């Protein structure tokens, strides 16, 4: 019996949230929510707008990956909020990376030069003399294996990139994103710095032409390059056999 217009039945709540009645009853069993009015032991349940708002918050937190125990602790003020914030920030960063990559997948027309900021991050870096694409591919994969075995990976960053001086293309640093707390040999922080960049769709052999385009743009616009190139790999051989589908962010750091 729905007695007042400002009350919602469990069916109305379930429909508004896009969930089943069973899910709401599970929340009740887990101590997350209680009906504002309940007719008898197993009778109809009714909820106020405040209860609906709380249920909506529960769904949002659950969709963001929090467990029901974590959500209950949050509402009971019995948990440290900071770790939850860190988890959500990590999720946000991972989503941003994937959104960026998907946008590039649907990009049409000529690639545009952009000004970006290369963010500070923790990396595992190994440097080798590498003359060919094949040598670089092997070196990068080996460096990635070393880094992951020793430290794991930071999923909020692009997994790996290479750097080399403009005037010495064969002197290559192979860099892998690792957790910020990592300590050890070959581990360092990169510097935050502005850069010109292009998202190159195509084979790796073509990227030197892209670098030249960035250098010419910098000269025309009175910008001072640092003399280094960074290639960050969004999609490549692990995702595609066709080199024309590779996506690489080619960046020219600025002074």
Percent of the chain predicted with pLDDT > 90: 51
Mean pLDDT of 219-232: 96
pLDDT for residue 105: 65
- Tracing tokens 């602790």 back to the chain, one arrives at 73
- Nearest residue to 154 (alpha-carbon basis) of 130, 125, 185, 124: 124
Compute CA 146 distance to the chain's CA centroid, rounded to the nearest angstrom: 22
Give the pTM.
0.69
Lowest mean pLDDT among 1-5, 143-147, 197-201: 1-5
Round the CA-based radius of gyration of the chain to a whole number and report it. Answer: 26
Q: Where are the beta strands (DSSP E) in 137-218?
A: 160-165, 171-177, 187-189, 193-201
The per-residue pLDDT for range 110-164, each reduced to its tens digit, is 678 989 999 999 999 999 999 999 999 999 999 999 999 999 988 888 888 999 9
Per-residue pLDDT averaged across 177-195, rounded?
95
Q: Which residue has the tokens 């249920």?
A: 55
Q: Considering only the top CATH level, what class is 8-75? A: mainly alpha
Sheet holding 37-38, edge to edge: 8-9, 45-47, 37-38
Q: What's the mean per-residue pLDDT of the chain? A: 88
Percent of the chain with pLDDT over 70: 93
Going from N- to C-terminal start, the domains of the chain cover 8-75, 114-253
CB burial string 44-69: b at 16+ within 10 A, e below: ebbbeeebbebbeebbebbeeebebe
Q: Which of 73, 68, 70, 79 is nearest to 30 (CA)?
A: 68
CA angle, 186 then 189 then 191, to 5°: 135
Q: Which CATH class is domain 114-253?
A: alpha beta
């Amino acid at each position: 019996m729905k007695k007042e217009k400002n009350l919602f039945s469990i069916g109305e709540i379930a429909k508004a949230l896009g969930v089943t009645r069973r899910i709401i009853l599970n929340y009740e069993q887990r101590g997350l929510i209680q009906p504002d009015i309940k007719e008898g032991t197993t009778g109809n349940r009714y909820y106020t707008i405040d209860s609906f708002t709380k249920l909506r918050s529960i769904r949002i937190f659950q969709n963001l990956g929090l467990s029901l125990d974590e959500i209950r602790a949050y509402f009971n003020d019995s948990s440290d909020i900071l770790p939850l914030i860190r988890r959500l920030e990590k999720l946000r960063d991972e989503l941003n990376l994937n959104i960026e990559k998907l946008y590039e997948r649907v990009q049409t027309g000529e690639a545009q030069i952009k000004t970006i900021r290369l963010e500070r991050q923790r990396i595992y870096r190994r440097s080798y003399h590498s003359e060919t694409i094949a040598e670089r591919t092997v070196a990068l994969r080996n460096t990635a294996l070393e880094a992951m075995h020793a430290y794991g990976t930071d999923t909020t960053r692009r997994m790996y990139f290479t750097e080399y001086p403009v005037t010495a293309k064969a002197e290559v640093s192979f860099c892998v994103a690792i957790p910020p707390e990592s300590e050890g040999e070959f581990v360092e922080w990169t510097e935050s710095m502005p850069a010109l960049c292009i998202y190159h769709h195509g084979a790796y052999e073509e990227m030197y032409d892209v670098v030249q385009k960035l250098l010419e743009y910098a000269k025309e616009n009175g910008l001072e390059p640092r003399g280094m190139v960074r290639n960050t790999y969004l999609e490549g051989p692990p995702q595609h056999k066709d080199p024309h589908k590779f996506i690489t962010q080619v960046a020219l750091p600025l002074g």
